[in-house]
Amino acid sequence: MVEAEVIMKKKNEEERGGKRRWGWAAIGAVLMVLVAISITSKYTKNPNSCQCAQDSRKYTGIVEDCCCDYETVDSINGAVLHPLLQELVTTPFFRYFKVKLWCDCPFWPDDGMCKLRDCSVCECPETEFPELFKKPSQYALPSDDLKCQEGKPEAAVDRTLDSKAFRGWMEVDNPWTNDDETDNSEMTYVNLLLNPERYTGYTGPSARRIWDAVYSENCPQYASGESCQEKKVLYKLISGLHSSISIHIASDYLLDEAKSLWGKNLDLMYDRVLRYPDRVRNLYFTYLFVLRAVTKAKNYLEQAEYETGNHDEDLKAQSLIRQLLYNPKLQAACPLPFDEAKLWQGQSGPELKQQIQKQFRNISALMDCVGCEKCRLWGKLQVLGLGTALKILFSVDGHSQSNQPLQLQRNEVIALVNLLNRLSESIKFVQEVSPSIEKKMDGLLSEPIAEEFSSWRRIWEAVGGFWLKKLQL
């Protein structure tokens, strides 16, 4: 009897030991399953989490397909180019841009002009014009019942006469753009300082349709591993320009309409540009591409006349242009921002060039479909500036076409310099806001980690407590 009780007691102890081992194994199994579910859920919700965690947001080394590195671009832009360009675009010569704002969209029916007050570009009252510019103009913008932003000067338009205010320039058409630059019909002069590139409220299907048409029909993204550099150029230029436009919208954003409060929208800047490293890289590429066009045309730009009737300001513009073209720091640090001689070398070179030119002309024509007047203004200016850079680098070859000297129209030079200034501003914005955005994103990433640790602790306590009670039974 005693022996039977001993055997039964030993058997019960073995069963309880087995239960404990099974219980701890069960706890481990449950925790492993929950870990797997958590990790899967985390990366399913945010497929870019791994990329974002690994990407330090620091851009170093040579800019792809260019001849300068990121560090040099940041340094030269901040110390030399940005201050020069900021001063240059305020001079009378570079302040006024001739543009045809009222055009029919050649690709789809007009869906109506943007009626938002910040979309409109209105004419200045006659009292605002300088005496030199007060001659009557044959063409004027239709009012279309648009109001000048309740009298705010940001939407005002200044016009002048090309024949008197701007002399010594050729009337030549740009083969890379859709507008005929020699056609003065329905053209108006716009004071760019009074019409800043900023948030206008132009969003939704109409705005998306423009960029969809640009990328899907005229500027498809090159395939991964594409070795043909020519096929990359147009996409990277348009992507870089798109990034710059998005940065300017986010950097001058209407934060509170009721209070008319403007400021930086860092979340928008991150969502549109900074979270995508390729968009930042393409911004740098476009900047160096346009800078190369300016430096290549230095002989032409140095000898050009920058006369507007304001002697002091015109001398200032001439001096600033020379400082831009012959700056010793720029020449020492980045003498050749982009080497265009590497392109169009094969038998298919001329054909590829014609193809890109046709695609870019279509992109230029798409600017007439932009439903926001102020957006159309800056779209046309920057596309003309990019078209001028393409014209300088690819339409006039000093080796094979020396009998075709470079000829630029005044409007092309204004667009080119203003575009370089826009790109310069965008790179400076990226430099300034990246640390604060990175700090903010690090904070957002650390919060879920802390919450997740706390959740695991609660789960462990709950599951462990449950099984401990079961095992004690």
| Angle made by CA atoms 168, 177, 182, in degrees to the nearest 5 | 35
- Which residues, at least 6 apart from 56, have a Cβ–Cβ distance to it below 8 Å? none
* Residue 118, pLDDT score: 55
| DSSP-derived pairing of the beta strands 122-123 and 156-157 | parallel
Contact 371, 114 (CB under 8 A): yes
Contact 266, 430 (CB under 8 A): no
Residue 364 included in any domain: yes
C-alpha 428 chain-centroid distance? 12
The stretch 357-386 carries a mean pLDDT of 90
* Residue 430, pLDDT score: 93
* Residue 151, pLDDT score: 38
- Full domain range(s) for residue 82: 70-135+152-446
Assess whether pLDDT exceeds 90 at residue 112.
no
Contact 67, 338 (CB under 8 A): yes
Assess whether pLDDT exceeds 50 at residue 289.
yes
Residue 287 included in any domain: yes
Assess whether pLDDT exceeds 90 at residue 336.
yes
The stretch 195-199 carries a mean pLDDT of 87
Confidence grade of residue 106 (pLDDT, cut at 50, 70, 90)? confident
d(CA 430, CA 427): 5
Residue 371 included in any domain: yes
- Domain count for the chain: 1
- pLDDT, tens only, 21-41: 555 555 565 556 555 555 554
Calculated CA dihedral for residues 79, 82, 83, 84, nearest 10 degrees = 110
Which residue, among 424, 412, 429, has the nearest Cα to 94 in the 3D structure? 412
Assess whether pLDDT exceeds 80 at residue 239.
yes
Residue 453 included in any domain: no
Sign of the C-alpha dihedral, residues 265, 267, 269, 272?
A: negative
> Who wins on pLDDT, 448 or 383?
383
Q: Which of 122, 148, 334, 375 is catalytic?
A: 375
> Who wins on pLDDT, 267 or 228?
267
* Residue 100, pLDDT score: 84
- Binding annotation for FAD: 198, 200, 211, 239, 242, 272
Residue 127 included in any domain: yes
Assess whether pLDDT exceeds 50 at residue 442.
yes
Work out the widest C-alpha separation in the chain, in whole angstroms: 126
Contact 93, 165 (CB under 8 A): no
* Structure token digits, residue 181: 């630059």
* Structure token digits, residue 46: 């945010």
Q: Which of 68, 114, 148, 372 is catalytic?
A: 372
pLDDT exceeding 70 applies to what percent of the chain? 64
Average pLDDT, the chain: 75
> Who wins on pLDDT, 407 or 318?
318
Residue 146 included in any domain: no
* Residue 186, pLDDT score: 72
Read out DSSP for 192-254?
A: GGGS-S------SHHHHHHHHHIIIII-PPPPTT---HHHHHHHHHHHHHHHHHHHHHHHSEE
Is 375 considered catalytic here? yes
425-428 contacts at long range (C-beta below 8 A, 24 or more positions apart): 425/82, 425/244, 425/247, 425/248, 425/251, 426/243, 426/244, 426/247, 426/248, 426/283, 426/287, 427/73, 427/74, 427/77, 427/283, 427/284, 427/287, 428/77, 428/78, 428/82
Q: What is the DSSP letter of 179?
A: S
d(CA 318, CA 302): 8
| DSSP-derived pairing of the beta strands 188-191 and 96-99 | antiparallel
* Residue 182, pLDDT score: 62
Residue 145 included in any domain: no
* Structure token digits, residue 17: 């030991």
Contact 298, 325 (CB under 8 A): yes
Confidence grade of residue 206 (pLDDT, cut at 50, 70, 90)? confident
Confidence grade of residue 166 (pLDDT, cut at 50, 70, 90)? very low
d(CA 413, CA 294): 9
Residue 462 included in any domain: no
Burial class of residue 313, CB neighbours in 10 A (0-12, 13-18, 19+): middle
> Treating both helix axes as pointing N-terminal to C-terminal, what angle do 229-251 and 410-472 enclose, rounded to 10 degrees?
80
